Every structure is written in structure tokens, then in C-alpha cells.
Structure 1
Amino acid sequence: MIRHAAFTLFAVLLSMAVIAGPASAQSASENAAQELTGILQDYETYQADFIQILVNDRGHQVQETTGLLKAKRPGWFYWETGNPLPQYIVSDGDKVEVYDPDLEQVTIQSLDERVQSTPALLLTGEVDNLNEMYEVTEKDTSVDGYREFTLVPRAPDSLFTSLRLSFREGQLSEMRMEDSLSQLSILSFDNVRLNEPVSDDAFRLDYPEGVDIIRDGL
């Protein structure tokens, strides 16, 4: 379940549905979506350390991990978590590799329809149709430099029920994602590096010889 939650959050960061919506008058959701789009469109690369906390449906913390993520438009993503469940996930926008050192296993698969239909290509792709995919609200706050947006998927089969993004001085500082089982994944970011050059080589995995390599659909 914990590994699934990590991959689900990775998919939310990585993927986006392309949903055609009818034209409508400007709404509060459209205004909030435009504000959020304006922030995210300035992200060419994003790198940060993070602490990830998983809270179950009874409000109990069941896991805490630390890690590193790197994102680069278009489509590049790197995700690394440490003990107690070390895991590496990378994607070039077409396929995703998942390396589990404790299982001595690498899974390589295409970004299938389920992953492609998850909302929010927030850090690695286009974000100009957020209002078509989500009901977006921005919380009024009196804290200078702090902004908070909540995204509720319009599609009934989304991998999550709500996603809250917090920004400080224009930098993404926290994500809170609640799923359909009322589990909460919290990512708190630190040491954020925004728009620093990142080589494509940073999104390739080196894993030991002898690991099992499973190719799913490739």
C-alpha cells in the first residue's frame, strides 16, 4: 500500500488527462486555475529534498520517508526515497522505470492509459487546461508570500479526491493528496532549486547487474 501511495503521488506529479470541456463564463475556479497556471508555467526545472508522510484513514501516521525529486520539462522526472523502503522512479515522458533495491527488481513500463489519465502534469508538462480537469480554489491568506490552492478532480475515476498545493515566494513548498480511501500523503519540500540547469543524464538509473528486469508491455 505504501509503495502504491508513492507511485500514485509520482503519477500525479508526472501525468495529466487531456479532457475537453465546454466553454463557459469566467468563474472563480477559472480565475484560481489561471493564477496557479501562471505560477507553474515559470517552472522549467524543479529540484527539492522532501519528507513524505503517509496518514491512514484514522488519522494515524503509518510511514515517514525522506527523498529527492527532480523535474524538467518536457516529461523528465526523477524520484528517490530512502529507508525504510528505498525506491527509485524515473520517467522520460514515454516510459517509467521503477527500481526497488530491497527486491532487487526493476520494472519498466509504458505510461499506460491509467497513468496518462491521472490529472496534473504540474511539474513536467503543459498546465494551461487545469480548469477543465479540476475545480480549483485559492484560499484567502494574510501571510505575505504564501499562496494555497486546492484541486478537486472533475473526473469521477481520478486517483485522488483532492490535492492541495502550497507555495512560498512562488516556490512549491508542500503537497497534500487525499485518495478515495481517505489516506493522506503529505510531501514537504526543502532546499528547493528552481530553474537551475539539469542534465538529461540526471534522469537515468544505474542499477546493479543481476537485478531482475521486468518489462511490462514493452
Structure 2
Amino acid sequence: MKQNTFFKFTASALLSASIGLAHAGAVDSLKKFNNDSDGISGSFSQTVKGKKKTQTTSGTFQILRPGLFKWEYTKPYKQTIVGDGKTIWLYDVDLAQVTKSAQNQTIGDSPAAILSNKSALDSSYTLKEDGTSNGISYVLATPKKNNAGYQYIRIGFKGDNLAAMQLKDSFGNETTISFSGLNTKPNLSRSVFKFTPPKGVDVVSH
């Protein structure tokens, strides 16, 4: 369940914002964010609502474009997800298990791709303005491919900051992510996104 939460979320992942909303639309803000931001870091709270269960998690994330991300869940369980450009590593502390998979196959058109790849948005999604709620202006991103796995992704901005993402996957699960403490100019090194499985854990390849 936890692994699926990331891959259907994100990574996680993973993914966009900026403007004076009174003078420009949320789509313009999203495109400006993609053009201007080479790195992103901050905190998140994520709620996944399924047909039978609702689960809320929180933690921190770091992204260095293109293609690098680190997503760390701290509550209610500890889990680390790292994309190093070639491989996605998912380390579940409670299970003492690491799952590895090819990044280009796992990410696809997911939110993690949006956040870690500047070109993913325009190439894979159709964008349109989607109204304002609670001071947050939203972009509706609809996948161009029928097999993307998502019915839609909504990306919200408040002021100059990425504020929220809302997603609905093909199974009807709804994910809501709130961002805080966003830094669009973090001083990140590529070494941050290198992952070595801890000694004594099981490593499973997908």
C-alpha cells in the first residue's frame, strides 16, 4: 500500500508555481515555475483517500532538475524514496526492505515527472485554468494519453508559491498534497540523490 501510494502519487515525488495571481493565470504561473526553477525543496502533507481507507502522511522533499528527487516520509512511518536519474530506490524502514526499479519505466507521466522534469508538463498534459478555492488558484492537467494512470491532476498556487496538488487515479483513489516551506532556489548537490541500501536490508528489484 505504501509503495503504491508513492508511485500513484508521485514519489512520489514528486511536482509547480509562481506569479501575481491578480495579473496572470495559474497556467502562466505553472509555466513560469517550470522555466525558472532548477531545484525545489520543502515539506508536504499527503492524504490518500480510497474506497475503504484514508491515510495521511507527511515529510520533506528535495528535487534537482532534471530527473533527481528525494522524498522522505517521517509520519506516521519512515520511508525514503530516491530517484537518481536511472533508478528509483524505495526504502521502507519498518520492513527493512529496499525496492529498486528503473526510473524511466516507473515514473511515466506521474507528478514526480512533472516536478523533476521541466518538459514533462507540456509534452504529456493538456492544461487549463480551473478556478480558485481558499485563495489557491488551480491548473487542471489532463493526460494526453489514455493509459497515464490518472484521470486528472490539479496543481494549485498561492501567491508565488506552489501550494497544493490534487490527483485522481484510474482506480478512483484521490490524493491531496499540501506544500509548505517551499524553497525554489535550494543549494542542492547531486550527491544528495545517491542512495546505498543499508546493510542487512532485503533488496528487491522490479
After TM superposition, the score normalised by the length of structure 1 is 0.78
Which one of 23, 26, 37 corresponds to residue 31 of structure 2? 37
Counterpart among 119, 129, 135 of residue 138 in structure 1: 129
In structure 2, the CA distance between the partners of 1:153 and 1:208, relative to structure 1 (3 Å rule), is same
SS at match of 2:150: coil
Q: For structure 1, list consecutive stretches of 5 or more residues without a partner in the other structure.
A: 16-30
* Cα distance change of structure 1 residues 109 and 181 upon mapping to structure 2, 3 Å threshold: closer
Q: How many angstroms does 1:215 deviate by?
A: 3.6
| 1:66 Cα offset (Å) | 0.9
CA distance in 2, matches of 1:183, 1:152: 16
Please state how far the C-alpha of 1:133 moved relative to its aligned partner. Answer: 2.4
Residue matched to 2:164: 174
What one-letter code is carried by the residue in structure 2 that aligns with 1:137?
A: K
- Mapped to 1, the partners of 2:157 and 2:169 lie a distance apart of 22
The residue that corresponds to 2:4 in the other structure is: 4
Cα offset, 1:150, TM superposition: 0.8
Quick one: distance in 2 between partners of 1:213 and 1:38? Answer: 39
Contact 1:46 1:70 in 2 (8 A): yes
Matched, 1:160 2:150: yes
Q: Which amino acid aligns with 1:94?
A: K
Q: What is the aligned partner in structure 2 of residue 209 from structure 1?
A: 199
Paired position in structure 1 for 2:21: none
Counterpart mapping for 1:6-85 below 5 A = 6-10=6-10, 13=13, 36-57=30-51, 62-85=54-77
Deviation of 1:206 (Å): 5.4
| CA deviation after TM superposition for structure 1 residue 207, in Å | 4.8
**Residues 138 and 181 of structure 1, relative CA distance in 2, 3 Å threshold:** same
Structure 1 runs (4+) deviating above 4 angstroms are 11-15, 31-35, 140-144
Q: Which has the larger radius of gyration?
A: 1
Matched with 1:194 is: 184
Deviations 1:110-169 (A, max 9, x none): 2253x2532553222232761x4223111344987x431011112111121110101122
Q: 1:149 aligns with which of 134, 139, 164?
A: 139
Alpha-carbon distance between aligned partners in 2 of 1:192 and 1:125, rounded to the nearest angstrom? 18
Aligned counterparts of 1:129 and 1:86: Cα–Cα separation in 2: 30
Identity of aligned residues (%): 26
Question: Post-superposition shift, 1:87?
Answer: 1.1
The structure whose residues are more often strand, as a share, is 2
Unaligned runs of 5+ in 2: 16-24
* CA-CA distance at 1:56 after TM superposition: 1.9
Matched-pair contact (CA < 8 Å) for 2:168–2:174 = yes
**Count of aligned residue pairs for this structure pair:** 196
Cα–Cα, structure 1 residues 138 and 162, in superposed 2: closer, same or farther, change >3 Å? same
Contact 1:109 1:215 in 2 (8 A): yes
Question: Contact conserved, 1:41 with 1:127, CA < 8 A, in 2?
Answer: no
Question: CA 1:142–1:205 in 2, change beyond 3 Å: closer, same or farther?
Answer: closer
Instruction: Label 1:110 to 1:71 Cα distance change in 2 as closer, same or farther (>3 A).
Output: same
1:215 and 1:164 mapped to 2: Cα distance? 32
Q: Which amino acid aligns with 1:10?
A: T
User: Is the Cα–Cα contact under 8 Å of residues 71 and 77 in structure 1 kept in the other structure?
Assistant: yes
